[in-house]
A and B are shown apart, each in its own frame.
Chain A
Amino acid sequence: MTDPLELGGRSFRSRLIVGTGKFASPELMSDALAASGAEMVTVALRRVDLEAPANPITDFIDQSKYLLLPNTSGAATAEEALRLARLARSAGLPPWIKVEVIPDPRYLMPDPVDTLAACETLVAEGFIVLPYIHADPVLAKRLEEVGVAAVMPLAAPIGSGRGLKMETAIAIIIEQATVPVVVDAGLGVPSHAAAAMEMGADAVLVNTAIATAAHPARMAHAFALGVESGRAAYLAGRAAELDEAAASSPLTGFLRGEVP
């Protein structure tokens, strides 16, 4: 496997992680997952009935193909996120947890204080912890220090599709990171995903842009291409960005015999 994503002690060929919310049907979701090439999919524990024999979401996810990444969507405090994570593990789900602590139901902004507290406890309890955070470079470092497996800064508010609005802060996070950086939330089109990968993000997570596209599976494939292209460009080493064209030197070219 060339250029795998190493995360939480596992290797992934795909650098696209996909969410499972907002799809018009489980079949459309299942097709989109297949087309995305993703190997990790995130599922809101609140949507899953852990005691029921049949589940509308998890029944459509083949766990031999995809690593199921449960998330704590719905939790508004650290305490609530801990309860959800423990519930998932005791129900037999893998000990991976995407920590979402979101007290604000309107813009779905994560709580940095309680996110850090929840992650510290969950790491100590042996979970592989992936926190969803604001694009806050200091918080990202604090989370690394407590032992998270990756950090997942938002590009823009969840579901907004606005792209890399937090570009400057995400660049700082990437520059300083010692764990994978997964850009999560707000990516609307494959070019946004490509741009995040070109910056050096290790992976991206996409949900709304795929689930609410007119053709979710086709959009999932398009995102896979965007991620692949962005990653390839990052590895190729981009050319320098200049303010103006630099084909010739009108002021000093005469030194090399150029005629203006």
Chain B
Amino acid sequence: MTFAQTFDAAATRRCVERAHHARRVDVAAALDTADCSLERFATLLSPAAGDMLEALAARAHALTVERFGRTMALFAPLYLSNECVCTCTYCGFSRGLPIRRKTLRIDEVASEAQALAARGFRNVLLVSSEHPKHVDPAYLARCVAETKRLVPYVALEVAAAREPQYASWAHAGCDGVVLYQETYDPEAYPRYHRGGPKQHYHERLETPERAAAAGIRHLGLGALLGLADWRFEALALVAHARHLYRYGWRTQINISFPRINPAAGNFAPERPVSDAELVQLIAAVRIALPMAGIVLSTREPAVLRDRLIPLGVTQMSAGSSTEPGGYSKPGEAGEQFHLEDTRPREAVVQRLRELGYEPVDKDWEPAISSMIPHAVGA
């Protein structure tokens, strides 16, 4: 059974509708139970729960400390390419936009990985736009293998793929795959994804379980906030995670809530999400999915990022660049979106310590999953 077969958008919409009528007592009941059904989860997303943010935040904080302790995993994105055949109205890499295009050669990937490793990163997310010719599966496998020589944990955020491709990347050393649905709203989806392979909503919806079936250990799910009703997105996202808990039980789920920021296309979000709503969303999802990793990128400003840390966040990027080659040779290619938190890595590390969190770089041993014989030892 695939998620595309089980996900009922109309029923999800009705659930959101009902949640608009939730009362304070309903929110209190939802907070007080370990049984967080989707119906109860919707209550936590309600306007009534929006008036009880402190209570939501307190519960989310306690659950996060219990499961993850006072630690924060750090990672950096490494952009491989901004050449793209997809037309996505919100993205700075969208086909036809007048930016400088570039796909890193393998030696340039190594330089970027080296630059990140030298700064202290031990967890790198390789990011690429979608281009069947310049960014093919074999190229991505080589990028993974090259990066893996320099950092112990490597994940991919690239175009949706098929199971054999995910298996080949896992074999090359890929530990995680990030694939956001962007929007779970099947009516909104085609308005934003107007051309290229990414325009197929259902195809994308089924892809994370393919990665799980191929042996990818960590899966990143997410919705791009600003495209559709955030409450709907949150319900769909939690339903998706729970589907994967049944049908891909070996896979660790991480959740991300990227809010749309200005990019080259000057896209203005149709359904902007406020800071208060973002706080409610993070806290509610933590309560619904106590074991999920929650990822926070540098799209959000430093001041807000610091405040979001205790609410349930477990992984942060820091000192990021969203242009290919941006760590070793900045300014040579267009960026995907504009970063808000531009603090260097050391400043983020310092701030985490001040807030009582231990920044964690190495949290993976490549020998665990490596096919490389030398890692097996004597």
Partner of B65, one of A26, A47, A86, A212: A212
**Do B250 and A161 touch across chains, with their CB atoms under 8 A apart?**
no
Enumerate chain B residues within 8 angstroms of A23, measured Cβ to Cβ: 69-71, 358
Q: How far is the CB of B176 from chain A (nearest CB, A)?
A: 11
**Do B66 and A74 touch across chains, with their CB atoms under 8 A apart?**
no
With A83-B375, A86-B378, A159-B66 known to touch, is A104 a contact of B249 (CB < 8 Å)?
Answer: yes
| Most chain B CB within a 10 A radius of its CB, from A47, A48, A103 | A47
Partner of A24, one of B67, B70, B249: B70
Enumerate chain A residues within 8 angstroms of B357, measured Cβ to Cβ: 24
B369 at the binding interface (Cβ < 8 Å) = yes
Partner of A46, one of B252, B291, B362: B362
With A76-B250, A212-B65 known to touch, is A45 a contact of B365 (CB < 8 Å)?
Answer: yes
A9 at the binding interface (Cβ < 8 Å) = no
Bound Cα distance from A72 to B69, whole angstroms: 19
**Do B377 and A87 touch across chains, with their CB atoms under 8 A apart?**
yes
Bound Cα distance from A25 to B349, whole angstroms: 12
B23 at the binding interface (Cβ < 8 Å) = no
Q: List A88-123 residues whose CB lies under 8 Å from chain B.
A: 89-90, 103-107
Bound Cα distance from A159 to B367, whole angstroms: 26
Q: How far is the CB of B100 from chain A (nearest CB, A)?
A: 37
Q: How far is the CB of B43 from chain A (nearest CB, A)?
A: 23
**Do A22 and B71 touch across chains, with their CB atoms under 8 A apart?**
yes
| Most chain A CB within a 10 A radius of its CB, from B251, B358, B362 | B358
Enumerate chain A residues within 8 angstroms of B377, measured Cβ to Cβ: 83, 86-87, 89-90
Partner of B367, one of A84, A106, A160: A84
Enumerate chain A residues within 8 angstroms of B370, measured Cβ to Cβ: 83
Enumerate chain A residues within 8 angstroms of B358, measured Cβ to Cβ: 23-26, 56
Enumerate chain B residues within 8 angstroms of A90, measured Cβ to Cβ: 377-378
Q: How far is the CB of B25 from chain A (nearest CB, A)?
A: 28
**Do B69 and A103 touch across chains, with their CB atoms under 8 A apart?**
no
B276 at the binding interface (Cβ < 8 Å) = no
**Do A208 and B291 touch across chains, with their CB atoms under 8 A apart?**
no
**Do B365 and A107 touch across chains, with their CB atoms under 8 A apart?**
no
**Do B251 and A105 touch across chains, with their CB atoms under 8 A apart?**
yes
Enumerate chain A residues within 8 angstroms of B250, measured Cβ to Cβ: 76, 103-105
Enumerate chain B residues within 8 angstroms of A49, measured Cβ to Cβ: 122, 152, 362
Q: Which residue of A lies closest to B291 (CB)?
A: A106
B364 at the binding interface (Cβ < 8 Å) = yes
Enumerate chain B residues within 8 angstroms of A46, measured Cβ to Cβ: 362-365, 368
Bound Cα distance from A24 to B358, whole angstroms: 5
Q: Which residue of A lies closest to B292 (CB)?
A: A106
Enumerate chain A residues within 8 angstroms of B375, measured Cβ to Cβ: 83, 87
Enumerate chain B residues within 8 angstroms of A106, measured Cβ to Cβ: 245, 249, 252, 291
A136 at the binding interface (Cβ < 8 Å) = no
**Do A75 and B70 touch across chains, with their CB atoms under 8 A apart?**
no
A8 at the binding interface (Cβ < 8 Å) = no
**Do B66 and A75 touch across chains, with their CB atoms under 8 A apart?**
no
Enumerate chain A residues within 8 angstroms of B251, measured Cβ to Cβ: 105
Enumerate chain B residues within 8 angstroms of A159, measured Cβ to Cβ: 66-67
Partner of A80, one of B65, B122, B362, B369: B369
Bound Cα distance from A26 to B359, whole angstroms: 10
Q: Mark B63-102, 1 if CB is under 8 A from A, else 0.
A: 0011111110000000000000000000000000000000
Q: Which residue of A lies closest to B361 (CB)?
A: A56
**Do A83 and B376 touch across chains, with their CB atoms under 8 A apart?**
yes
With A89-B378, A107-B291 known to touch, is A21 a contact of B362 (CB < 8 Å)?
Answer: no
Partner of B252, one of A45, A105, A160: A105
B171 at the binding interface (Cβ < 8 Å) = no
Enumerate chain A residues within 8 angstroms of B71, measured Cβ to Cβ: 21-24
- 4 closest A-B pairs by CB: A22-B69, A24-B70, A105-B252, A86-B377
Q: A21-B69, A161-B66, A212-B66 are in contact. List 7 more A-B contacts (CB 8 A).
A: A22-B70, A23-B71, A24-B356, A83-B376, A90-B377, A107-B291, A159-B67
